[in-house]
């Protein structure tokens, strides 16, 4: 990468600080609703207990990590690179709980489990290539 380009990338990163500490509902409304309200591209719909039951069964750490990394039509980080893992996780909780889940906003222990699952998932995907 040439240095001028690197400077532009750094400036762009600084101009877009991570949006920390939003509620799951707020993140859902600003980022996820675009697809998960109507079920765009077969996204499991908000409140659809049948669609979410098998996903909730995967467990909070695994499901959150897979969604964070991206899966088929689901873009990594819901397509918003500025989301923190914590805020993204809260939005997953908000979605799961709309459809029968009883998850809690992630504590540091849960966030660590999600990050461990994220590493596993990335390694798995790299193997498939």
Q: Does 93 bind ligand HEC (CB under 6 A)?
A: no
DSSP-derived 3-state class of residue 19:
strand
Binds ligand HEC (CB under 6 A): choice among 27, 69, 99, 110: 27
Binds ligand HEC (CB under 6 A): choice among 56, 61, 69, 91: 91
Contact region with ligand HEC (CB under 6 A), list: 4-12, 28-36, 98-106, 115-123: 28-36
Identify the bridge partners of residue 83 per DSSP, sorted by sequence position: 19
Quick check: 71 and 64 in contact, CB under 8 A?
A: no
Quick check: 83 and 89 in contact, CB under 8 A?
A: no
Closest CB to ligand HEC among 95 and 114?
95
Contact positions with ligand HEC (CB under 6 A) in 63-82: 63, 66-67, 71-75, 78-79
Q: Does 61 bind ligand HEC (CB under 6 A)?
A: no
b/e map 55-71, b = 16+ CB within 10 Å: bbeeebbbbbbbbbbee
Instruction: Judge residue 106's burial from the number of C-beta atoms within 10 Å of its C-beta, 0-12 exposed, 13-18 middle, 19 or more buried.
Output: buried
Would you tell me which residues interact with ligand HEC (CB under 6 A)? 27, 31-32, 34-36, 40-44, 55, 63, 66-67, 71-75, 78-79, 88, 91-92, 95
């Amino acid at each position: 990468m040439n240095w001028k380009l690197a400077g532009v990338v750094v400036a762009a990163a600084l101009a877009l600080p991570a949006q920390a500490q939003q509620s799951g509902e707020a993140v859902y409304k600003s980022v996820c609703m675009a697809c998960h309200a109507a079920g765009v591209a077969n996204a499991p719909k908000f409140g659809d207990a049948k669609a979410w039951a098998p996903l909730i069964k995967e467990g909070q750490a695994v499901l959150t990590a897979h969604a964070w990394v991206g899966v088929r039509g689901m873009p990594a980080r819901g397509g918003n690179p500025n989301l923190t893992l914590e805020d993204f996780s809260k939005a997953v909780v908000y979605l799961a709980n709309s459809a029968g889940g009883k998850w809690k906003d992630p504590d540091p222990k849960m966030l660590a489990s999600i990050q461990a699952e994220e590493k596993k998932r990335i390694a798995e995907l790299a193997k498939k290539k």
